[in-house]
Amino acid sequence: MTGGDVPDETQVGIIGAGPAGLVLSHLLKARGIDCVVLERHDREYVEHRVRAGVLEAPTVDLLRSLGLADRLDRESLPHRGIQIAFEDRRHHLDFLELVEPVAAGDPVVFEALDVEPADVDTDKPLIRYTHDGEHRELRCRIVAGCDGFHGVSREAVPDPIVFDRHYPFAWLGILAEAAPTQDELVYSGHERGFALYSMRSPTITRLYLQVPADETLDGWSDDRVWSELETRLPTEDGFVLNTGPILDKLITEMRGFVATPMRHGNLVLAGDAAHIVPPTGAKGMNLAIADVFVLAGILDDVLNHDRTERLADYTAGCLRRVWRAQHFSWWMTSMLHRFGDDPFQRQLQLSELRLVTSSANAARNLAQNYTGFPFDETFGG
């Protein structure tokens, strides 16, 4: 949008045009609530940035209900389950057997710089920012911080309680121009470290390797990456690893983080602004969308029915699911990664892997958590 097109006032000001912010804008529009999304990057960056690749069933259902699933239905690669590999063998977990079945948004201001939420503990909060070289203010009733872990929104919550866990390793990820050889992810708990085979399209694969937490990309040539993937993935049992030009490499920190409360005054946090999970459980984006599903219902009560007290329910309404996702992500990470050379812990991991791949009840527990609980489900504890 150009400077002259940007409104100066709205009901909800959303900071960040990632999955949480954009889905929230559509959820609010469906409820007749006006909002403006402020995004510091340009539109091309947002549209082409590689995001998480696994969508839970509730996330897909929500996108379809909002009319946002045309491309998803046209280009997605549905997964019937996953494969867990250890001791040179793959074990298939069929989620369909284990689990019971279950348009244009509001204005987006791209290249909104120096964004700063202000007066969030009053009835008239605002967001200051710069656009097209002009200093601007967006007056709103609610500020939604959907600007990720490194955004500015969480800084506006005074003295949050922070739970933080750093894992002693990272993921080296590649995006490769190589056709997938199958339609399911392979999680490999190898003696040399974890590896993950996944896919992004009929021509693109996404693969990961466990590396030390302080690893850099300098020592990882393309040949070394492919060699290590071929070692850690169980190619001896018939699995074929297609190779091709590597389009992108990155190293991802492994961390679990929760900051509470997720609301201060008329500022609410959603997605990575409030919590991050290790990517092993494929929960990050799905958890962000679950946050805004809860938030949209509360804002409907606040803005359309003058029930301002409902804002107090937001943190509790999200945190039970957040901690369930944290536990599942921790469990998957602990079961599949190498934590040093402790042979006792390695035998514990193998015992858990054998249980998950041989017990229907254990497999069902993994499948239920992986495919996702309904967004309206209440978690105990």
| Active site (catalytic) residues | 79, 187, 279, 283, 370
- Which of 276, 279, 272 lies closest to 209 in space, CA to CA? 279
User: Which two structure tokens, joined as six digits, stand for 321?
Assistant: 């699911």
Inter-residue contact 356 to 86 (CB < 8 Å): no
Q: Is 133 left (phi over 0), alpha (psi -120 to 50) or beta?
A: left
List, in sequence order, every residue forming a beta bridge with 9; answer none if it has no partner: 139
As a whole number of angstroms, the distance between CA 269 and CA 262 comes to 5
- Residue 98: its H or E element: helix 95-98
User: Do strands 204-212 and 161-176 pair parallel, antiparallel, or not at all (unpaired)?
Assistant: antiparallel
- Which of 236, 185, 193, 230 lies closest to 336 in space, CA to CA? 193
- Which of 160, 186, 190 lies closest to 260 in space, CA to CA? 160
As a whole number of angstroms, the distance between CA 73 and CA 15 comes to 28
User: Do strands 185-190 and 246-260 pair parallel, antiparallel, or not at all (unpaired)?
Assistant: unpaired
Residue 24: count other Cβ atoms within 10 Å of its Cβ.
31
What is the side-by-side strand order in the sheet with 134-139? 113-118, 126-131, 134-139
User: Which two structure tokens, joined as six digits, stand for 152?
Assistant: 């500015």
As a whole number of angstroms, the distance between CA 130 and CA 218 comes to 37
Long-range contacts of 238-244 (CB under 8 A, 24+ apart): 239/90, 239/181, 239/182, 239/186, 240/181, 241/181, 241/197, 242/178, 242/179, 242/180, 242/181, 242/205, 243/176, 243/178, 244/176, 244/177, 244/178, 244/179
